[in-house]
């Protein structure tokens, strides 16, 4: 699967993420014309046989205009209150636009926990499928009114990638007010050029994302790159494009590369591994020595207690944890067989010693290779 045409010709699910700046204007509120255009594009896609999901920002933006606030709120309670006002205003505009085309929309508000708990994750997927079956267009946003820090995803770039991965979508299109990924910050360097296709997300690409000027919404290029990593690992292609151009979506959807296309990785992970590596939130981390690091990366082994040098955070057996190297860089994630308290006692020990230390029959592996996903460490 090497071209955008190939990806689109599969006629699967497509997720479209639309940023705050495209949807709202500080003074005039919701940009109804832009939403109408989006509805037409979605109708076009549906006509081609795709399932479509919209991940929409703009609740806070719409709330700012409705309440006549001079600026975007800064504190969490203020943001929550503003989102509570703006979200229904935004949905009303979607409803009105889609109704004109004879289509229904449904609202889904999610928080981080909906992805971290596998049961809720499956429930969310079932609801989306039920909406597809009824030919309803799901419109998703983070549940800003209740999402406090611990359960917050924080940005809709990552939310849209999680949704695309959950659905096994073919493509995520992130529409924002940036033209794509550039070789340098285009506002500072006139020689900067747009990168049309990214075949793999190398450390150099990550560096470019940090350099690019960020847009005015919550997520800049950094969160878009995080989203791209999630997509690529789950076998989903992703495009970042400038949604100010009304024809951009239609062009992309007919196979023309506008913005930057990230091609999906070749090996699709199983649903469970996808969840472990890119969805569940790690409850803590274990630091491994260089020997364990190379065994994990080169031979995809299980993680044994002998390779562990430190543990951080408090977690229980069956929680997802992050595996980091001596420099603190994440190399993998996995489901631990041991709690953090037990790991403190058995780290650095040989497997044969465990029953004696713990006083019970014990498993050799801290994380079995079937429950482990390599997420980094390629640099
Ligand atoms: N959920 C926020 C809103 O609707 C936007 C978050 C984002 O843009 O990443 O206002």
Instruction: Ligand 1, residue 61: give the atom nearest the CA.
Output: 10
- Angle among Cα 363, 365, 368 to the nearest 5 degrees reads 115
Question: Of all residues in the chain, what percent are helix, strand and coil, respectively (each to 5)?
Answer: 45, 20, 40
3-state secondary structure of 270: coil
Cα-to-centroid distance, 106 and ligand 1 (Å)? 18
Instruction: Ligand 1, residue 90: give the atom nearest the CA.
Output: 4
Cα–Cα distance list, 110 to 55, 125, 202, 262, 342 (Å): 11, 12, 31, 25, 34
What pTM was estimated for this model as a whole? 0.80
Cα-to-centroid distance, 28 and ligand 1 (Å)? 18
Closest CA to 334 of 298, 291, 304: 304
Q: What are the per-10-residue average pLDDT scores of the chain (379 residues)?
A: 76 93 89 95 92 96 93 90 95 97 96 82 91 96 79 84 92 91 83 89 79 51 89 90 89 85 77 81 94 91 95 94 92 95 95 90 92 76
202-232 residue pLDDT tens: 878 887 777 655 443 445 788 899 899 889 8
> What local confidence, expressed as pLDDT, does residue 300 receive?
87
Cα-to-centroid distance, 217 and ligand 1 (Å)? 7
Q: Are 212 and 185 in contact (CB under 8 A)?
A: yes
263-276 residue pLDDT tens: 987 656 777 787 88
116-163 residue pLDDT tens: 777 888 889 999 999 999 999 999 999 988 776 666 777 899 999 999
């Amino acid at each position: 699967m090497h071209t955008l045409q190939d990806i689109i010709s599969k006629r699967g699910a497509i997720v479209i993420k639309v940023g705050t700046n495209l949807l709202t204007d500080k003074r005039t509120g919701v940009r109804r014309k832009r939403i109408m255009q989006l509805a037409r594009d979605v109708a076009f896609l549906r006509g081609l046989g795709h399932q479509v999901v919209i991940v929409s920002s703009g609740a806070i933006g719409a709330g700012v205009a409705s309440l006549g606030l001079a600026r975007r709120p800064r504190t969490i309670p203020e943001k929550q209150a503003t989102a509570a006002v703006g979200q229904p205003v935004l949905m009303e505009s979607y409803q009105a636009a889609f109704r004109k085309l004879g289509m229904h929309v449904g609202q889904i508000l999610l928080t981080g926990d909906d992805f971290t708990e596998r049961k809720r994750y499956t429930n969310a997927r079932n609801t989306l499928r039920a909406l597809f079956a009824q030919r309803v267009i799901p419109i998703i946003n983070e549940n800003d009114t209740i999402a406090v820090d611990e359960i917050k995803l924080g940005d809709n770039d990552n939310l849209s990638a999680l949704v695309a991965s959950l659905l096994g979508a073919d493509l995520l299109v992130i529409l924002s007010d940036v033209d794509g990924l550039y070789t340098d910050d285009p506002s500072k360097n006139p020689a900067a050029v747009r990168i049309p296709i990214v075949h793999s997300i190398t450390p150099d690409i990550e560096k470019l994302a940090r350099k690019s000027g960020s847009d005015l919404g919550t997520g800049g290029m950094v969160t878009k790159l995080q989203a791209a990593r999630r997509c690529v690992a789950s076998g989903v292609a992703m495009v970042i494009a400038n949604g100010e151009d009304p024809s951009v979506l239609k062009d992309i959807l007919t196979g023309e590369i506008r913005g930057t296309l990230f091609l999906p990785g070749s090996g699709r992970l199983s649903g469970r591994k996808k969840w472990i590596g890119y969805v569940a939130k790690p409850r803590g981390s274990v630091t491994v020595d260089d020997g364990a690091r190379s065994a994990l990366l080169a031979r995809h082994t299980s993680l044994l207690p002998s390779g562990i040098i430190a543990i951080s955070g408090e977690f229980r057996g069956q929680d997802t944890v992050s595996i980091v190297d001596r420099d603190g860089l994440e190399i993998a994630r996995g489901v631990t067989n041991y709690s953090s308290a037990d790991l403190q006692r058995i780290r650095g020990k040989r497997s044969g010693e465990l029953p004696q230390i713990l006083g019970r029959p014990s498993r050799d592996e801290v994380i079995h290779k079937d429950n482990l996903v390599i997420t980094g460490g390629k640099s």
